Amino acid sequence: MTTPTGLLPLRPELAGEEPYGAPQLDVPVLLNVNENPYPPSDDVVATIAADVAEAARGLNRYPDRDALGLRGDLAAYLRTESGVALEPTQIWAANGSNEVMLQLLQAFGGPGRTVVSFAPTYSMYPEYARDTHTRWVAGRRNEDFTIDVDHATQVIEREQPSVILLTSPNNPTGTALPLDVVEAVLDAAACVRVPDAPDGAGAVVVVDEAYAEFRRRGTPSALGLLEAHPNLAVSRTMSKAFGAAGLRLGYLAASERLVDALRVVRLPYHLSAITQAAARAALKHTDALMAQVGSLRAERDDLVVWLRAQGIEVADTDANFVLFGRFDDRRAVWQGLLDRGVLIREVGPPGWLRVSVGTPVETARFKDALSDVLLALPAAQPTQKEA
């Protein structure tokens, strides 16, 4: 008889890996995971409660497998938000944009294929690649976190990826991409020869717009490029602008053919009836929720001005967060803020820190704490940028 060892046949590439996750600590001011700081209003809560209660009456039945009602509501929202008319069949929804991204790589990545992005960017992207056995390649961003078109084109031509991930606004830097950069990437993607794909298939380009509603006036969305580019997908989420991080509802807009490919890899009934009902209820209050977005934009812009007035370098941002630095000892700054009851994120390039935009009270607490830390820790002073 063989004695059990307690060992598991874990995939070799997962050995020693830690689960993804930002710290979840019980401190007074939480500004580390880019949440909307405003909870749903009583009106929103009442609508969600009523609609979820109605959905609960049918919980003995499976939910609408393709969530067509929800997808229609999301298409209507995007028409209002970005002026782009889409059919419900051009929308796909899942449990957060994380699941949307995973499904994209399940459909278009896989063994023998490559996904390309440009770092620094969202730290989950290489994990999606790992989990789908897709080779991960990261090109570089410029010093100001923009993407150089010539470099991007060279990386695409060299690596021949099946999927290209662009993030606009980018996490963790907040950088939005001009449409001419996206179009140049789309042109390069069209020339890619993907292994085991039909001739002329090209690569799929994904523009992750999780923070799009926070972009500054005049900053375009890639949604306007969908009609001319059937291999383009634009992903969004209700976690940020809608203040619904706990709902876990992400979605994308794309050609109907691309959406149908995701329907092949999705799990049966992947969106519960409760999730669908709650998301549709929240969408009924779009106007009120978008008013909060406007106040967060203003709070963000004021925070950027304040940080720069302290002699701190700040990346231009179109998101609901600010990347600031550069510190010789960013860990000391992060810990100093935490000791004063303010949790931010130690993420991104060395020397930089990221703070989410909070309520005016939370932002004031952050400013006071940071001022105190910089006075108390001379070694943590920001590095002066060379002229």
How confident is the model over 333-370, as pLDDT tens digits? Answer: 999 999 999 999 999 899 999 999 999 999 999 999 99
Contacts (Cβ under 8 Å, ≥6 apart) of 145: 120, 170, 173, 175, 315
CATH number for the domain spanning 92: value is 3.40.640.10
Residues 208 and 345 in one domain: no
- DSSP-assigned beta bridge partners for residue 163: 115, 204
Measured CA to CA, the distance from residue 215 to residue 317 in angstroms comes to 8
pLDDT range class, residue 387, cuts 50, 70, 90 = very low
In the chain, the percentage of residues whose pLDDT exceeds 70 is 98
Write out the residue range of the structural domain in which residue 252 sits: 43-284
**6: in domain:** no
Q: Select from 284, 315, 331 the last residue of a domain.
A: 284
Tell me, yes or no, whether 227 and 362 share the same domain.
Answer: no
Both 250 and 132 in one domain: the answer is: yes
Q: Is residue 295 located within the same domain as residue 315? A: yes
The stretch 162-183 carries a mean pLDDT of 98
Count structural domains, the chain: 2
Q: What is the pLDDT of residue 384?
A: 62
Question: Same structural domain for residues 336 and 198?
Answer: no
Same domain, 278 and 301: no
Say yes or no to pLDDT of 21 above 80.
no
- The predicted-structure confidence for 65-89, as pLDDT tens digits, reads as follows 999 999 999 999 999 999 999 999 9
For 30, other C-beta atoms within 10 Å of its C-beta total 20
User: Which of 250, 284, 318 is at the close of a domain?
Assistant: 284
Rg of the chain (C-alpha set):
22
Band of residue 254 on the pLDDT scale cut at 50, 70, 90: very high
pLDDT of residue 386: 54
pLDDT above 90 coverage of the chain, percent: 89
Query: What span, in angstroms and rounded, lies between the C-alpha atoms of 150 and 171?
Result: 22
Domain end point (choices 284, 306, 321): 284
Q: What is the pLDDT of residue 379?
A: 61
